[in-house]
Amino acid sequence: MQGAELFHEVNFNSHTSKGNGGLKNSLRFEAPWLILKSMELETLLKAQKNVSLRRIGEKVLEGKRLSPEDALTLFNSNELAYIGALAEYVNRQKNGMFAYFVVNRQINPTNICVYQCNFCAFGVLKSDPRAYEMSLEEILEKVEETYQQGGREVHIVGGVPPHWKVEDYVGLVREIKSRFPQMVVKAWTAIEIHHMAKISKRSYEDILKELKDAGLDAIPGGGAEIFSERARKIIAPYKANAEEYLEVHRTAHKLGIPSNATMLYGHVETYEERVEHMLRLRELQDETGGFQVFIPLAYWPEGTRLGGKRTSSVDDLKTIAISRLFLDNFPHIKAYWITLGEKIAQIALNMGADDLDGTIEEERIVHSAGTTSPYKQSKEKLINLIRSAGKIPVERDTFYNIVAIYP
Ligand code: V47
């Protein structure tokens, strides 16, 4: 490595369109860890006896893009430590020693849902005794509480009730934004946006423009599940398909609305289908550059019609690491502590992930399916999790603008 590379520049916020208060766009650090990492990696490559894995490692070191076949080779390998080290090398090049979190609140306004996906234990029919719908006042109280605690983001995701009109979705965004203009509203997945377009016979562009005018800042990644038609027929036969999900995100990016992307794994999908899923996201990201973060979501089976088993910790970490390696055009990879649990999420911060999501406050979707994670985390707990993973905790906003660094 040359002297010039002793420094490392970390860029954040790909989207500052709202001008909502990022401190800086980039920071320059002395970067001994990068030299160390590349030396470690060279040693690791020399010791790697498997030719295919060594070749993939060489590609990573040379900064070359991995092919779908490479990603499949990694999924079929049991060399977690090797894959994790490669992913961590890539992560440190992108994010240095930073690991991010946001003080946020998730709001699941209703569990009533027309789509009845088989992997989901949260959505119920309107007639179900478990059905609930929060009132506007209740939602605003929750937003206010988070705002008073210094929260920067509300993440709204829920069921798709048969009686909701476009005005209900738009109105909620407008109410929140008009009362709390500083709060970033990350709301409605591609599934809800597709649904709004369908029931009103309007285009995605039209719906998204209306939502943006009402104050929508970003779109969460939910609803992607797995793009494969075969697997989707089994787990989510009724809701928007892969093309529709991707088209909603494409349209949002064109309108300057950043979004996130997810992948639900560990149910009926094959490794090939995971790779195909990530490939389609990588292609769209090449086209638009509008995705901020990729979030692999580990499947929880309890109370679902689909049933099945929980994912293993090795699968969780491998999936995080491979996504970091394969999605070379995604700036961030999120280890969502709600689905991974705190301990695996913490290890993931050393295997390619650079983000833990946030304090969350209240989560009902994955808790309905049996996750043993708490409902919320304190900011201090997240800072400690990151610190004891050997990383520098960075509080961010939705757009990866830095709010505070806790060295
Ligand atoms: O789309 C539903 C998943 C998602 C189960 O954009 C389940 O920053 C596991 O997308 N087991 C909603 N997962 C949550 C989501 C999300 C979460 C955090 C951050 C962001 C972001 C997005 O939850 C759904 C679905 O894929 N889900 N049921 C289950 N049984």
Per-residue model confidence (pLDDT) at position 23: 47
Q: How far is the CA of 297 from the centre of ligand 1 (A)?
A: 6
* 3 state SS of 178: helix
Q: What is the largest CA-CA distance in the chain?
A: 67
Tokens standing for 351?
A: 């295997």
Q: How far is the CA of 397 from the centre of ligand 1 (A)?
A: 20
Using the Cα atoms of residue 120, residue 126, residue 132 and residue 133 in order, give the sign of their dihedral: positive
Q: What is the DSSP string of 179-215?
A: H-TTSEEEE--HHHHHHHHHHHT--HHHHHHHHHHHT
> Does residue 265 have its Cβ closer than 6 Å to ligand 1?
no
> Does residue 295 have its Cβ closer than 6 Å to ligand 1?
yes
Per-residue model confidence (pLDDT) at position 5: 47
Best of 124, 191, 248, 264 for a ligand 1 pocket test (most atoms within 8 Å of beta carbon)? 264
Per-residue model confidence (pLDDT) at position 3: 37
What b/e sequence results for 60-77 when a residue is b if at least 16 CB atoms lie within 10 Å of its CB, and e otherwise?
bbeeeebeeebbbbbbeb
CA–CA dist 56, 71 (Å, integer): 9
Q: How far is the CA of 241 from the centre of ligand 1 (A)?
A: 16
Best of 107, 122, 366, 375 for a ligand 1 pocket test (most atoms within 8 Å of beta carbon)? 366
Closest alpha carbon to 196 in 216, 210, 215, 177: 210
CA–CA dist 32, 246 (Å, integer): 39
CA–CA dist 314, 281 (Å, integer): 23
Best of 117, 192, 225, 297 for a ligand 1 pocket test (most atoms within 8 Å of beta carbon)? 297
Show pLDDT as tens, one digit a residue, over the chain (407 residues): 333 345 566 666 544 434 344 444 666 666 666 665 777 888 889 999 999 999 999 999 999 999 999 999 999 999 999 999 999 999 998 998 999 999 999 999 999 999 999 999 999 999 999 999 999 999 999 999 999 999 989 999 999 999 999 999 999 999 999 999 999 999 999 999 999 999 999 999 999 999 999 999 999 999 999 999 999 999 999 999 999 999 999 999 999 999 999 999 999 999 999 999 999 999 999 999 999 999 999 999 999 999 999 999 999 999 999 999 999 999 999 999 999 999 999 999 999 999 999 999 989 999 999 988 888 889 999 999 999 999 999 999 999 999 999 98
> Does residue 121 have its Cβ closer than 6 Å to ligand 1?
yes
CA–CA dist 34, 247 (Å, integer): 38
Q: Which residue, judged by its Cα, is nearest atom 15 of ligand 1?
A: 222
Q: Which residue, judged by its Cα, is nearest atom 9 of ligand 1?
A: 299
> Does residue 258 have its Cβ closer than 6 Å to ligand 1?
no
> Does residue 220 have its Cβ closer than 6 Å to ligand 1?
yes
Per-residue model confidence (pLDDT) at position 90: 94
Tell me, what amino acid is at 20?
Answer: N
Which atom of ligand 1 is least distant from the CA of 304?
A: 30
> Does residue 147 have its Cβ closer than 6 Å to ligand 1?
no
> Does residue 365 have its Cβ closer than 6 Å to ligand 1?
yes
- Residue 124 pairs in a beta bridge with 112
CA–CA dist 375, 199 (Å, integer): 33
> Does residue 187 have its Cβ closer than 6 Å to ligand 1?
no
H/E stretch holding 358: strand 355-358
Structural contact between residues 172 and 139, judged by C-beta atoms closer than 8 angstroms: yes
Tokens standing for 132?
A: 């609930």
pTM for the model stands at: 0.94
> Which residue is listed with tokens 């506007």?
136
